Structure 1
Amino acid sequence: MRLGVLDIGSNSAQLQIVEATAGAPPLPVYAVKTATLLGESLRDDRFLEDDAIERVCRAVTRTLDAAHRHEVDQIYPFVTAAIRDAENRETVLDRIETECGLRPQYLTGLQEARLTYLAVHRWYGWCTGRLLDIDIGGGSMEIALGRDAVPELAVSLPLGAGRLTRSFFDVDPPPRVQIKQMRRYVRETLRETADRLQWEGEPQLVVATSKTFKQLARLTGAPPQRKGPFVRRTLSRKDIHSWVPRLAALSADRRAALRGVSPSRAYQILAGAIVADETLSALDVDEVVVSHGRCVRA
């Protein structure tokens, strides 16, 4: 059966088409991504402006055209934190339904953490032992820990790379004082979760499952996405830490010229790197395995 998962996020709408066969991992067939750039149109009162809603509808239309061309049997559309947490969320969903013919669902942060963990657990198998999953999105960061299909601990924190960029950086590149303020906020927000995870014990496998980690991994020399989902990609805390000051010294335009950094995410990759750096430090994790992508959810 050919399935499509449509992830409508703060930066882009991404459709991942996979071939799903009972007893086998989902195999990627085709992927398409269209910019939404919702963070640029999110007002201080958390209302999404009309231009952002229109970009979302165009992006969804394009992905649905691709799904039709590739004969997708079933499509699962979801919105993430940018739309889920918007004050006019229902208006946005109504417009998508009217213009595109489908109404995306949305998950709570806790549901998103649990679902991502389940997908990673299925991908890597039962022999992994205790598994820790970390996912830095545009609006939130999800962390989950467990050894079975249902995690023992799952949390969603307001530490998305786009959210923090809008909250702490008002010039490009940001001054050191704003970077220090962001680091302090991330550490304070992480403290309770980090204490709990340390109490739970050391995981046997730590997996990172987001575009932020994939781009950081490419910066540090990991194989590109075209090499496929079965190539092992890792990212060390040391490498992330060394890249933060280098990213901080560059404007978003110059970051976009770096290996693996897309123009649509260049403005927030610094915040994502800071969150990754502080998270791995708080959890005392030296290295993560970087998942090929969120397609494992299918």
Structure 2
Amino acid sequence: MSVGVLDVGCFSAHLVVVERDLLRPLVSHKVRLRLDREIDARGAISGAGVDSLSAAVLAARKKAGDVPFLPFATSSVRDSSNVDEVIRKVARRTGVELKVLSGKEEARLSYQAARQWFGFAAGPVVVLDVGGGTVELAAGSGAEPDRAVSLPLGARTLTRAGLTVADMRVEVAERLAAAFPASESARAIGCSKVFEQLARLAGARSDTYAPRQLRLKDLEKWIPRLAKLSVRERAALPGISRHRAQQSLAGAVVAEGLMKVSGHDVVDISPWSTKEGLLLSLVERSRARSSSAA
């Protein structure tokens, strides 16, 4: 039985439909969004932003056909000051009601995805996820995390705050240290586009499924370089996409802070995150229903 997820983020709405194997999706359809351009000074998503969201959801609904999918929105929608209005308008236009996951739930799902990717042989893990609006951290040794937190320290959030690198470092260090104890004995896993692009910037292979790592010493070398470059110059670097170039410096500073506070000089990169965590949950439910029906 096929299951699907529509991941609505700041830069894209990504529909993925699978049967059992997440590595071989039946459908993978992405529509570009630029919600970062449609959020005003009050934190509200504009009418144009609602229009683009509705068009993306309609495109996903058409692509999915008869396959049911779970539509969820991340912090760009969740943290908007008019979130209820946005969800209501999109539902009225498309017949699809976006679900809003809490930051803590995103942290839990990212943990489950990373745990599945590396397996239980990896031992205790601490999972680090840098998003646009928030960062999520989760740690544990079992199928579920022992602790999970979310903080408003995302790359887009810090970029919009207009802080210097020094001020960002202080803000990130203080907030993280107060919320999450160090986990030096655990294996550190980074599972977000920010960690993927930073690993690529530091010389990792571009193959999504190849083993990749990000080292703190490399990240510390790149932060002052990124600070000196224009947005256009950053976009020309390996791994940094044009739409993420503006917030790439803040993303690097947050990643550095996460590694230092959690006590890790090396982070392994997981290509799976929140979306895959949801898909894994849906696949398990589908299997359970099939077993009970048999």
Whether the TM-score (by the shorter chain) exceeds 0.5 is: yes
Deviation digits for residues 92-116 of structure 1 (CA, Å, limit 9, x no counterpart): 1112212222111111111111121
Sequence identity (%): 36
Q: 2:201 matched to 1:219?
A: yes
Distance 2:270 2:189 in 1: 7
Deviation digits for residues 38-80 of structure 1 (CA, Å, limit 9, x no counterpart): 2222223221111111122222233334334xxx733121001
- 2:107: which partner in 1? 113
Q: CA deviation at 1:293?
A: 3.5
Say which SS state the counterpart of residue 97 (structure 2) adopts: coil
Distance 1:114 1:249 in 2: 36
Distance 2:272 2:46 in 1: 29
- 1:279: which partner in 2? 258
- 2:185: which partner in 1? 202
- 1:244: which partner in 2? 223
- 1:32: which partner in 2? 29
Q: 2:171 matched to 1:191?
A: no
Say which SS state the counterpart of residue 16 (structure 1) adopts: strand
- Note if contact 2:6-2:72 (Cα within 8 Å) is conserved in structure 1: yes
- Note if contact 2:57-2:96 (Cα within 8 Å) is conserved in structure 1: no
Distance 1:31 1:242 in 2: 36
- Note if contact 1:19-1:26 (Cα within 8 Å) is conserved in structure 2: no
Q: 2:276 matched to 1:296?
A: yes
**Alignment map for 1:222-237 (pairs within 5 Å):** 222-224=204-206, 227-229=207-209, 231-237=210-216
- Note if contact 2:117-2:272 (Cα within 8 Å) is conserved in structure 1: no
Equivalent position amino acid for 1:11 in 2: F
Q: 1:61 to 1:279 in 2, by over 3 A?
A: same
- 1:172: which partner in 2? none
- Give me the CA root mean square deviation: 2.0
Q: How many pairs are equivalent?
A: 277
- 1:175: which partner in 2? none
Distance 2:120 2:237 in 1: 37
The ranges of structure 1 where at least 4 consecutive aligned residues each deviate by more than 6 angstroms after the TM superposition are none
**Alignment map for 1:1-298 (pairs within 5 Å):** 1-20=1-20, 27-68=24-65, 73-168=67-162, 178-194=164-180, 196-198=181-183, 202-203=185-186, 205-224=187-206, 227-229=207-209, 231-294=210-273, 295-297=275-277, 298=279
Equivalent position amino acid for 1:239 in 2: D
Q: 1:257 to 1:2 in 2, by over 3 A?
A: farther
Q: 1:191 to 1:148 in 2, by over 3 A?
A: same
Say which SS state the counterpart of residue 243 (structure 1) adopts: helix
Gap runs ≥5 in structure 2: 280-294
Distance 2:110 2:219 in 1: 23
Say which SS state the counterpart of residue 211 (structure 2) adopts: coil
Distance 1:53 1:250 in 2: 33
Distance 2:158 2:208 in 1: 31
Gap runs ≥5 in structure 1: 170-177
Q: CA deviation at 1:30?
A: 4.6
What TM-score comes out, normalization by structure 1 length? 0.86
